[in-house]
Amino acid sequence: MKKSLRLTKNFEFIKVYKTGRRLSSLFFTMYIKKNELNFSRLGVSVSKKVGKSVVRNKIKRRIKEIVRLNYDYIKQGYDIVVSAKPSSVQLDFKAMEKELIGLMKRGRIYSVKKVYNFNDNLL
């Protein structure tokens, strides 16, 4: 996933946490906020409670890959922050994908049809 499609600065995360909608499941908490851009950005947060650095990085890689594979189905113009809970360690890739897609559907940012992407060159 390109750097332009990620949230990287602390103030961007704080803005989404404070003013975005929050959706929770047993394994993840997702914050969604509309942005003024014509593409969606992702931020991933995994606390030290989840595990050591190897485990945290594995979860972050999986979340980013799930969003990359499903980016065409995510509505454009949103900032999304996914925060992993300690119970997410037990999930395999497919279960994690199902859980995240379920949260995106609940947040009404996931479309069954591919969304026309104006920024194909960003991917």
Residue with the bigger pLDDT between 53 and 115: it is: 53
90 assigned to some structural domain? yes
From edge to edge, which strands make up the β-sheet containing 28-34? 21-24, 28-34, 78-84, 41-46
25 assigned to some structural domain? yes
Q: Find the domain containing 76 and state its range.
A: 3-106
Number of structural domains (the chain) is 1
15 assigned to some structural domain? yes
85: domain CATH number is 3.30.230.10
Residues 47-72 have pLDDT tens digits of 999 999 999 999 999 999 999 999 99
Residue where the block lists tokens 């925060």: 83
pTM of the model: 0.86
Residue where the block lists tokens 């047993």: 26
Strand boundaries in 1-123, DSSP class E: 21-24, 28-34, 41-46, 78-84
Residues 16-25 have pLDDT tens digits of 999 999 999 9
Whole-angstrom Cα Rg for the chain: 14
123 assigned to some structural domain? no
CB atoms within 10 A of CB 18: 9
